[in-house]
A and B are shown apart, each in its own frame.
Chain A
Amino acid sequence: MFYREAGDFKTSYEADNQTFPIAFDRYRYWAVLAVAYLVIPFIINDYWANAIFVPFLIYAIAAIGLNILVGYCGQVSLGTGGFMAVGAYACYKLMTAFPDVNIVLHVILAGGITAIVGAAFGLPSLRIKGFYLAVATLAAQFFLVWLFNKVEWFYNYSASGQINAPERFVAGVPVTGANTAPWAQYLICLVFLTVCAIVARNLTRGTLGRTWMAIRDMDIAAEIIGVNPLRAKLSAFAVSSFFIGVSGALFFAVYLGAVEVGEAFGIQKSFLVLFMIIIGGLGSIFGSFAGAAFLVVLPVALKVIGVDLLGWPTDIVSHLQLVIVGALIMFFLIKEPHGLAQLWRLAKEKLRLWPFPY
C-alpha cells in the first residue's frame, strides 16, 4: 500500500502535467539522482567506469535519440552508428581546430552538426516508409563510415587513419585524454545524460511530441489536424540525430579516446542501439535507460558468471549472449513492443492495487 495514488488529487493542469504525477515516483527520482551525483562519483573505480557506467551513460543518450525517431515518430533507422560517427568526427575536428574552446561546447556543436546531417538523410522519409526507409538509412550508415575512412581531412591526415582525443579540461579537471580520472569521465557523461533526458522528456510530452506521435500512429489523420509531415519528420530526424551526435562525441572523446571509424561506429552499433530501445521499450524515455543498462550489463554479467565463476570457455559465453539477445528481441517484438518499460508499468499497476486485487 505504500505505492499509492489515492488521495493524491490534482488541483491544476500544471500539476497534472508533471513528469512524475505520483509522489512516490518523484521521491524515487530524486533518490536516484542523489545517488548518481553524490555517491557513485566518490566510489567509482576504473573497472566500473569503463565496463559499466560510462558506456551505459553514453548509450542511454544514443538510445533516447533513436527512440525519439523510431519510438515516438515511427521512422525506422539503421543509421545510428553512422550518425554517432558524425558526432565523433565533428567533435574531433572542432577540438583540433579550436583548442581553446571548452569541450562541452564542442560536444554540443557536434550534436548540432549531426542534427543537420541527420535531417538531410531524413529527407527520403517523406517518400518512403518502413522497410524501405530502413534500407535507405542503412545506406547512410555505410556511406558515412566510408566517407570518414576515405577523406583524410576528417582525420587530419594522420598516418594511422585514426582520430585521437587531445587532452581537454572542464573547470581545470581533465575530462579527455590519458590522464582522465574515472570519476571525471563518469560525471561529464552523467551531466550530459541528465540534460538530454530532461530535454527529451519535455519535447516528447509537449506539442512536438504529439506531432511526432500523430505521424507515427496515422499520418493521414495527422495531416488533417494541420501537421506538416515534412516538418514533423525532419524535426524528429534532427532532434534524434542531435542526441546521437552528442553520444558519438562522448563515445569518442571521453570513453574510447582513439577511434577507427569502422570498428567503433560500424553497423553493429546501429543494431546495438536499436536492440536497446526494442528491449527497453519503444516510445519511452525510461525504456531507453532500461534497454541501455540491460545491454551494457548483460555481457559483463555473463562474463563474470560464465567465464570467471563457472569456468566456461569464452566463445561459448559470447554465443550465449547472442542467443539471449536474439530471443529477447523476438519476445519483445512479438509479445511486448513497449518493452521493459511496459513490464515495469504493469508491475506498478499491480503494486498500486496490492494487497487488494480489485
Chain B
Amino acid sequence: MKDAQDSYVTPDGRTIGGILMDMRNITLRFGGVEAIKDISFNIREGEIRAIIGPNGAGKSSMLNVISGFYNPQEGEVWFRGAKRPQMKPFQVARHGIARTFQNIALFEGMSVLDNVMTGRLNKMKAGMVSQAIWKGRAEREEVENREAVEKVIDFLEIQAIRKTPVGRLPYGLKKRVELARALAAEPNLLLLDEPMAGMNVEEKEDMSRFILDVNDEFGTTIALIEHDMGVVMDLSDRVVVMDYGRKIGDGSPDEVRNNQEVIDAYLGVAHD
C-alpha cells in the first residue's frame, strides 16, 4: 500500500509493510482531565505494536479512540492512507478492526461457540426471511461460518469448552474466548487491551504464543497494551510509551529500554 522502501524485513523474517493506522496529534479530554495530550504515532502493516505506560497514562483511552468509542477533541485518525471521518464502533468493526477489552466483555449468557460465532456477524448477510425458514443462504452461511469458527477454536485450543456457557469459565479461559471472538472476524488490525493481565506464568506463555502465531500465520497487525515488560520486549516490534497522557518514548524495544525519560517515568516506578 506504500512504496517498497517503506517496508522492511525483521530479523525473524516477517515483512513489515507501510503505515496502516496513523494517529496525528490526538488530544482527548474528559471535562477538565486531559487523558491524551497531542500524541502522534503510527502502526505499520504486519507489526506488533505495544503501548505501555503506568496506570492512568491513557493507553486504554487511545485504543478507544482507535475503535471509535471516544472521539478526540483534536487530531486526526488516518487509516489506509485516508483520513477517517467520525465513526461509531460498529462502523470501525466493519473496517476490519477487532479488539478485546481490559475488563473482559463477553456475552455471559451465551455459549463459547455462540460468542465466537458473533465475531462473524459481519460476514453473515442472509436476509430475515431466509433466516426465518432456515433455508438457502441462512443455512449455508451458518455452516460455512461454523467451519471458520471451528478453525479459530482449534487454533486457540478451546475445543473442550465449546458448548459451555461463558459465565461458568475461569478468568484465563474467558480471556482466550474473547481473543477467539476477535479472531473470528479475521481482522486486519487487532487491538488487545492487557491480554495477559491477571494470568499466571503458564497462561501468559500460552497467550504470548497465540499472539505471535496470529501475527505470523495470518499476517494480522496487532496493537497491544501490556504491563509485563518481559512480554512486551519479547513480542513487540515497536513500542509507544505514554505517561500522564503524553508520549515519552517511541521506538524498538531496545531504544525504549535505554531512553532516560522512559526509565525515569516508567521502568523505575511501576516495574512489577
A228 within 8 A of B: yes
CB nearest to A228 among chain B residues: B90
Distance A352 CA – B79 CA, assembled complex (angstroms): 54
Tell me if A224 and B132 are in contact (CB < 8 A). no
Q: Please report the C-alpha to C-alpha distance between residue A283 and residue B141 in the assembled complex, in whole angstroms.
A: 24
Min CB gap A195→B, angstroms: 10
In the assembled complex, which residues on chain B have CB atoms less than 8 Å from the CB atom of A227?
90, 118, 121
- B82 to chain A minimum Cβ distance, whole angstroms, is 20
A202 and B118 CA atoms in complex are apart in Å by 16
- Asked if residues B107 and A214 are in contact (CB atoms below 8 Å), the reply is yes
Find the B residue at minimum CB distance from A224.
B89
Within 8 Å by CB of A214, from B118, B132, B133, lies B118
- Range for the number of chain B residues in contact with chain A: 35 or more
Residue on B with the closest CB to A200? B132
Q: A208-B128, A213-B114 are in contact. Are A224 and B105 (CB under 8 A)?
A: yes
Within 8 A of B (CB), among A233-287: 235, 239, 283
A16 to B160, CA, bound (A): 15
- A191 in contact (CB, < 8 A): no
Q: Are A207 and B132 in contact (CB under 8 A)?
A: no
User: Is A17 interfacial (CB-CB < 8 Å)?
Assistant: yes
Q: In the complex, which residues of chain B have a beta carbon less than 8 angstroms from the beta carbon of A228?
A: 88, 90
Is B245 close to A, CB under 8 A?
no
Which A residues lie within 8 Å of B101 (CB)? 221, 224
**Residues of chain A within 8 A of B253, CB atoms compared:** none
Could you tell me the dominant secondary structure of chain B's interface residues? Answer: helix
- Shortest beta-carbon distance from A58 to chain B in Å: 21
Residue B213 is within 8 A (CB to CB) of chain A in the complex:
no
Q: Would you call A223 an interface residue if the criterion is a C-beta within 8 Å of the partner chain's C-beta atoms?
A: yes
B124 within 8 Å of A (CB atoms): yes
With A14-B143, A224-B93 as given contacts, are A206 and B134 in contact (CB-CB < 8 Å)? yes
Assess the B99–A224 pair: CB atoms within 8 A. Answer: yes
How far apart sit A319 and B270, CA to CA, in the bound complex (Å)?
65
B residues within 8 A CB of A224? 67, 89-90, 93, 98-99, 101, 105
Q: Which of B200-216 contact A (CB under 8 A)?
A: none
How far is B110's CA from A222's CA once the two chains are assembled, in angstroms?
13
Query: Are B134 and A225 touching (Cβ within 8 A)?
Result: no
Give bound CA distance, A217 to B119, whole Å: 15
Interchain CB contact (< 8 A) of B122 among A203, A223, A226:
A226
Give the docked Cα–Cα distance between A199 and B134 (Å). 8
User: B126 — nearest CB in chain A belongs to which residue?
Assistant: A207
B161 within 8 A of A: no
Which residues 110-124 of B have a CB within 8 angstroms of A? 110, 114, 117-119, 121-122, 124
Cα(A225)–Cα(B118), bound, Å = 7
A226 & B106 in contact (Cβ 8 Å cutoff):
no
Please give, as numbers and ranges, the residues of chain B lying within 8 Å of A218 by CB-CB distance: 105-108
Q: In whole angstroms, how far apart are the Cα atoms of A216 and B147 in the complex?
A: 26
Q: Which residues of B contact A217 (CB under 8 A)?
A: 106-110
How far does the alpha carbon of A218 sit from the alpha carbon of B178 in the complex, in Å?
A: 13
Inter-chain contacts of A226 with B (CB < 8 A): 90, 93-94, 121-122, 185
Interface flag for B138 (CB, 8 Å): yes
Q: Does B131 contact A (CB under 8 A)?
A: yes
Measured between beta carbons, the chain B residues less than 8 angstroms from A14 are: 139, 143
- Point out the residue from A17, A202, A223, A283 that lies within 8 Å of B146, measured CB to CB: A17
Chain B hits for A225, CB < 8 A: 90, 93, 98, 118-119, 121-122, 181, 185
Residues of B within 8 A of A239 (CB): 128
Cross-interface CB contact of A210 among B105, B114, B139, cutoff 8 Å: B114
B139: chain A residues at CB < 8 Å are 14
Question: Is B114 a contact of A223 with CB atoms below 8 Å?
Answer: no
Within 8 A of B (CB), among A102-125: none
A235 and B128 CA atoms in complex are apart in Å by 10
Q: State the Cβ distance, A200 to closest chain B Cβ, in Å.
A: 9
Which residues does chain A contribute within 8 Å of B98, judged by CB atoms?
A: 224-225
- Say how far A213's CB is from chain B's closest CB, in angstroms: 6
Q: Closest CB of chain A to B185's CB: distance in Å?
A: 7
- Among A14, A203, A221, A239, residue most surrounded by chain B Cβ atoms (within 10 Å): A221
Residues from chain B with a CB closer than 8 A to the CB of A214 are: 107, 110, 118, 121
Given A202-B131, A202-B133, A226-B121, A210-B110 contact (CB < 8 Å): yes
Chain A, residue nearest B108 (CB)? A217
B253 to chain A, nearest CB (A): 29
From B90, B134, B142, B181, give the contact of A223 (CB < 8 A).
B90
8 residue pairs, one from A and one from B, having the closest CB atoms: A226-B93, A217-B107, A221-B105, A223-B89, A202-B134, A226-B122, A13-B146, A207-B124
Binding site for B on A (CB under 8 A): 12-14, 16-17, 199, 202-203, 206-208, 210-211, 213-214, 216-218, 220-229, 235, 239, 283
Q: A17-B143, A203-B132, A217-B110 are in contact. List 9 more A-B contacts (CB 8 A).
A: A13-B143, A13-B150, A199-B132, A214-B121, A216-B109, A220-B69, A223-B90, A224-B93, A235-B128
Binding site for A on B (CB under 8 A): 67, 69, 88-90, 93-94, 98-99, 101, 105-110, 114, 117-119, 121-122, 124, 126, 128, 131-134, 138-139, 141-143, 146-147, 150, 181, 185
